Each structure stands twice: as C-alpha cells, then as structure tokens.
Structure 1
Amino acid sequence: MAIQKLLWALFSQLVLLLLFLDFTNAWGLQLGFYRRSCPNVEKIVHTTLHKYISRDLTLAAPLLRMHFHDCFVRGCDGSVLLNSRNCNLAEKDAIPNQTLRGFQVIDAVKSALEKKCPGVVSCADTLALVARDAVSMIGGPFWDVKTGRRDGRVSIASEALTQLPSPFANISQLKENFAAKGLSVKDLVVLSGGHTIGIGHCFIITNRLYNFTGKGDTDPSLDPKYAAALKKKCKPGGDIKAVAEMDPGSFKTFDEDYYTIVAKRRGLFQSDAALLDDVETRAYVQRQSLTHGLNFAHDFADSMIKLGYVGVLTGRRGEIRKRCAFVN
C-alpha cells in the first residue's frame, strides 16, 4: 500500500510537470536560435530601436508594457500586435490595450528584419527583444533573451479584458493573475517595478481621487499630500488625455525609485498600493526602498526571462508572420 501511494504521488507530480511544460513550451527556446538563419538579428533590432528611443525616451515604457500584455494573453505569441478584422475585435482594441503605443516601432524593427532575413524572425521574438533593449537603453538591466517563439493566429479582445492584471486589482487578484501564468509572488512584486517608467492616464485614477467609495472621498491608502498633487493634474471629468507620471521626477529612467514611492503610499494605481497588503510583497518593497534597489536589476532581469517563457509557441506551432499586424 505504501509503495502504491508513493508511485501515485510520483505519477501525480509527473503529470503536473508535463502540464506545466506543455503550458510554457519554453524548452523550444534557445540562445542563438537565429545564429544561422539570421545571425545579426539582435544587432538589427538594437540599431533600429535606438533610432526611436534616442529621439523619445518615453517609448521604452509602452514597449515594455506591450510585451507584458502580449505574454499575459495566450502567452508570448505576438497576438497583441494583430489588428481587428471582420467581426473579430483583437486584443489591441480591448480597453486595457487602447492606451498602448509604439506599434510603429515594432513594425519598423520587423521591416528591417524582413529585409535582411525574410520570413525568419517571429513578431513574438521581435517584441521580446525590443522590450529588453528598450529597458536597457534607459538605464535598466540587460538580460539574455532565448528565441524561437512563433506567432499565434488568434487575438480576442475579451481575453485581454479578463486576463490582464487590472490597475484596480487587490493583492489577492494580482496573485491569482500571476499564478495563472506560472509566475510567483516575487515575480509579481518585481515586475510591478516596471512602473518606475512611464505614465498613467488620469481617467484610471479619477475614482480613487474623487469618489473611492461612492461618497465623494479619496482612497485612504493614498498619501494625502500626493493625492492633493494628483488632483492638480487629474481633474474630475477632465481631459481624457491627461496623464500623471508613474515615478515622478524620473519616469524616463529605469531605477528603483518605484519602491520608495510605493513605500510612502504614493503608488499611482490601486494595484501599486496593493503591494503593501501582503507580507511577501510588502517586505520586498520595503527592502528595495531601504537599500536603494539592492538586487532589483538582477531580480527584474530574472523575472522578465520567466515572463518571456509564458505560453510560447515553438516548433511547428503557429507561424512566422510577415507583417506583425496580420496573419499570413
């Protein structure tokens, strides 16, 4: 009986392992995947991207966010890049993705790759490499990107709406979102550090500032002085294009300041403030705040590598799109 229980336990673990491997399919990725078919792929990506980032540092944040949003829906398969067509509303047009920008950058990089290596490099790999280089170009860490991803053919707006972590999410919801993608609680708090760059749209935080519980109040978890400063930028019923910096003072530079801001209860979104509501995430926030980002760059690189493995298509699955906005 004891042997049977042991065998069953081992079998159960094996099944879970196989399910996980099938879910990520990451073993099909490798460093230097294009070393023969497109040996200069990383140089082409870097050179083309630099032309854009050198002119506009604010592009780094949306390009990083685009990769994140891609991987959280159907895995890192480039589905966020597809245009809506006929009766199908694609991820790109889902409400959480309507503030994404930088698609022209991906198109330019992909076009440069197609000129040198037609039909070889996937849009999913292009996006993963662009996100890495964009972060590196504004002072963030550099990490090795394993390639070999193939592009998906399906993109559904409703999936983006239900699967992407919400800026209104509490800590339990965030942990569930990340766990569903095989990402840990540490990955959650580390990847949230990507908010050290970029901006947030005022319409997302209007209720937090002016009507948090429906009684004309402000979210009590928000530092009062910071709330007052935000109200000067974000008026109730104001300009829908109005924005606020995620990391005031250094939103164009990738650094550890995000954690200092969150520790002071000045995180822009409710999902930022939620990091203080869990023992593990709060400890990480406080540690980075007190140690000026000790190990943050290393941790961020590790978590980005894990993110890039989520649900990838490799081998003969999917396709290599010629244009990222359209299936072949």
Structure 2
Amino acid sequence: MTLPTEPIGSIPRPSNLQTALAEHAEGRLAEAELRTLQERATADTLTRLEQLGCPVLVDGEQAKPSFATYPLTGLTTLDPNGAVIPFADGHTRQLPCLTSGPFRYQVRAETYVRDALRHTDRPVKQAVIAPSALSLLYPGEPIEGYSREEFLRDLADEAETDIRGCLEAGAHSVQLDFTEGRMSLKLDPSGGVLDDFIALNNEVLGRFSDQERARIGVHTCPGGDHDSTHSLDVDYAELLPRLFQLKAGNFYLQLASEPDPERVLEIIAGQLRPDIRVFVGVTDPISATTETPEEVRDRVLLAARYIPVDQLGTCDDCGFSPFADDTSTSRDLAFAKIEARVLGTALASTALGL
C-alpha cells in the first residue's frame, strides 16, 4: 500500500499540437485536423503516465483551450474585454464577459472523460472549472433582462451538470480548479469576495451526496502561467480556514513552492475534519529543476507530521500548462517531475510503514 498520489491536470502540449493550435487560430488548419492531433496528444499523455506508474491518470487537458474557458468554446454572447488577471512578472490574462443570457456551457468536461477512457482502462481524473471562477464573467453593469441573480442560478445549474456528467461518465474523481480563491484576497483583503466564492461553490457541492463528494475535490494554488504566479504574495493563512469550509471530500493544495511549508501544514492540521483527504503539493511546476524522489519523500514525511497518513495524499502544486499557449515548461520536464512525485511518494510510504 502507498499513499494516494494524483496529478492536478494540465501537461504541456506537444510541439506539433502547439503549431496546430496557432494555425487553427489563424484559419489555416481545419477543425477536424486539430481534433485529430488533440486526440493523439491525449493518447500519448495517458500512455506516458501509465508508463511512469501513475495510479490515477489525467488527459493533460490536451483538448482544452485553457483550464478556465473550456465551457465557453463557441459561445457567441461574449465580449473579450472582461476581468484582467495580472501576474507577478507583469503579463496578464483576460477573461471575457457575458453580454446576454441565459448562460449555458457550450462544452462539458464529460466529453474529455469519455475521450480519455477510450485510450485507457486506468482510473482517470477530470478537472473542471469552479463556478466561482466563471462568476467573474458577469459584467459590472447589469445585463438588460438578465440579472446577476439569474446568471448565478444558471451558473450553479450548469456547474452541477458539468460535475455530475463527469462522475456518470466514469471519472475516478472530479477536481474543481479554484485558483481564484487566493487571488480574491488581493482584490478584497476583507474576504468578502472570497466568502461569496465559497458560498457559490458550496451551493453546487451541496447538491451531491456524501458518497459523491468523496470523489469530488478542490484544488487551490497562487496561479501558474509562463513561470509566474498571481497571488503567491497573499498569505495562505487568510485563505485556508475558509477553503476548508467547502463541502468537498478532497483538497489539493499547492505546498512545494511555499516559502514556509511547515507553517502552512500547521494551519492545515488545525482545519482537518474526519471526512476529507488532503493532497499536498510536492513538485513545483514553475521551477526548472526536477525534484529528486528523495526530496519528494522528505516533503511527504514533513506533511505526515501534521496530517494523519489515512488523510494524506500527494499531488503537483499546479497544472503544468493551464493555458494551451504556455510553453514555459517542456513536456519532458513535466513528466520528469511527475515521475519524481510517484517515486518519492512510494519512498515515503515505505518509510511510514505502509
């Protein structure tokens, strides 16, 4: 027996897929040709993860434009000039904003689950965007004939359907990406925005049974894009107590890149409840250095001093390429870090007598 270990989600796309994405965006590549390359990249990702001995696989988000915007693909009621997310190195990402309702997902994550399961019989995890992130699509000025309250009701229904569809399609687990949680404390240090995010996510999570929530988790990190973050400077201590109010069975927490991980572990220990598992990040996707299995082992053993082993697991801090155009981390480096996580978790399990 070893401690459970899972990837977070995205893995850098192969170079031929990166080229194809650019050509498709310029109108020089047909949709069918792009889909063929995405399917090949998905199959290759799953195969390589199997070869590394990963007990739980992901499709690497090879067919997603980004971890956040996949439900919007093809939606015509959008203005590109929405919320701007600034990163520490000076670059930004910008979300679109909604121009009219009703809001409906155009792509559901269950399609990625079904596509992945055609290529493997191993457990497959699926990441979905948290409804709190998509709540940022509603503009500051009310949309005529479509209030914010109506939008949030529609959004909660769509998010529930997205999660439920993944579970019913056979996903081993479903992970809500909640990177906006820590960022919200930069926008509103009082925590009011974060409280609204937690309430919306809990509105959705509360619709699932205890058995279903045991397969549902929440991931948080300070963002990761072009080797930069958007909220690493925000004190984790301000987020964690509210984060653990979420009605999820699993929590995937960035930890390897924290300047003081032991302080964070002390906070986590104070928030534990019996019905959850905490997956701690043991590899840093932003770092260009590959962790050794021994380094990973030692990070796990430190975490085991604060988290009971029957509630402990490991993960990567973040996805390696949450936006499809991010080439700052190579595909081979991502797989090397994943291998270190798998091997290091096994070493820690042995050291813990599991």
Q: Does the TM-score normalized on the shorter chain lie above 0.5?
A: no
Higher strand fraction: Structure 1 or Structure 2? 2
TM-score for the superposition, normalised by structure 2: 0.26
TM-score for the superposition, normalised by structure 1: 0.27
Instruction: Name which one, 1 or 2, has greater alpha-carbon Rg.
Output: 1
